[in-house]
Chains A and B, each alone.
Chain A
Amino acid sequence: MKPLPRSFAHAVVSLTLALSTGACARGALEARREGPAFNRAARQGAEAPAATPLRLVLFSDAHAVGIDPATGQELWRRPVRAFGPPVSVGDAVVVPVYGHRAVALNANTGATLWEHALPGQVLTGLDASERGVIVTALQADPKERKRPREREQARSVVGGMSMHDGRIRWTRPSTALLGVPAARGKAGFVPMGDTVVSVNLRTGRILGSKTTASADIDRVERHGTTLLASDGDALIDLQVGTRYDYEQDDAQLFARVDGIEPGLGHHGGVVFRLLPPPGAGAPRDALFLGRRVLIFVRLDERGRLSRARWVHARMDQREYVDFAAMPDAVLLVRDDGALVRLDRETGRVREELEGVVEPHGAAFVGYATPVEDSEDSVDRDTTVALLQGLIEDPDERLVPAQKLALTLLWRDPRPQVRRTVEDVAAGIVRPDGADATLSLMDHADTLLTQAWGRGDPQTVHALAERLTSKRLRGDALRDAAREAVEAGGAEVYAPLVNLLDQPDLDARDLDHVAMALRDIGAPETIDGAARFVTQYHADPEIVDASKAIYYLAELLAAHAQPDLPEHTTEEASAAANAALGAVVEDEFTVPSLRAFIEAQLAE
Chain B
Amino acid sequence: MWVLVLALLGSATNDAERATPAASVRKFDHDARQARLFDSMMARADPIALEVVLAKVAGGLPPKSLGAFVDNARVYPRAEYAPALRRYARYRKATIRARALVALAAIDRDFGAEAALAAMNDPSVEIRLLGVDLALANTAPHVEEALLRLLARDEAVAKVVRTRGR
- Listed in ascending order, the chain A residues whose CB lies under 8 Å from chain B are 501-504, 534-542, 582-583, 586-588
Q: Which of A534, A538, A583 contacts B62 (CB 8 A)?
A: A538
- Listed in ascending order, the chain B residues whose CB lies under 8 Å from chain A are 30-31, 34, 58-63, 65-66, 87, 90-94, 97, 122-124
Closest Cβ–Cβ distance, residue B79 to chain A (whole Å)? 21
Q: Check B62–A503 contact: CB distance below 8 A.
A: no
Q: Which of A501, A541, A586 contacts B59 (CB 8 A)?
A: A586
Q: Check A503–B30 contact: CB distance below 8 A.
A: no
- In the complex, what residues of A have CB within 8 A of residue B58's CB? 534
Chain A contact residues, majority secondary structure: loop
Complex Cα distance, B90 from A586, in Å, reads 23
Not counting A503-B91, A536-B92, A588-B65, a sample of 7 additional A-B residue pairs whose C-beta atoms are within 8 angstroms of each other reads A503-B124, A535-B87, A538-B60, A541-B93, A542-B93, A582-B59, A588-B62
- In the complex, what residues of B have CB within 8 A of residue A536's CB? 60, 92
Closest Cβ–Cβ distance, residue A47 to chain B (whole Å)? 58
30 CB contacts below 8 A, A to B, read A501-B90, A502-B90, A503-B90, A503-B91, A503-B92, A503-B94, A503-B122, A503-B124, A504-B123, A534-B58, A534-B59, A534-B60, A535-B60, A535-B87, A536-B60, A537-B60, A538-B61, A539-B62, A539-B66, A540-B63, A541-B93, A542-B92, A582-B59, A583-B60, A586-B60, A588-B30, A588-B31, A588-B34, A588-B60, A588-B62
Q: Which of A534, A541, A583, A587 contacts B30 (CB 8 A)?
A: A587
| Residue among B34, B94, B123 with max Cβ neighbours from chain A (10 Å) | B123
Closest Cβ–Cβ distance, residue B134 to chain A (whole Å)? 17
Complex Cα distance, B92 from A537, in Å, reads 13
| Residue among B60, B66, B91, B93 with max Cβ neighbours from chain A (10 Å) | B60
- In the complex, what residues of B have CB within 8 A of residue A541's CB? 63, 93
- In the complex, what residues of B have CB within 8 A of residue A501's CB? 90
- In the complex, what residues of A have CB within 8 A of residue B62's CB? 538-539, 588
- In the complex, what residues of A have CB within 8 A of residue B59's CB? 534, 582, 586
Nearest B residue (CB) for A548: B92
Closest Cβ–Cβ distance, residue B122 to chain A (whole Å)? 7
Closest Cβ–Cβ distance, residue A593 to chain B (whole Å)? 11
- In the complex, what residues of B have CB within 8 A of residue A540's CB? 63
Closest Cβ–Cβ distance, residue B93 to chain A (whole Å)? 7
- In the complex, what residues of A have CB within 8 A of residue B92's CB? 503, 536, 542
Closest Cβ–Cβ distance, residue A79 to chain B (whole Å)? 84
- In the complex, what residues of A have CB within 8 A of residue B60's CB? 534-538, 582-583, 586, 588
Complex Cα distance, B97 from A504, in Å, reads 11
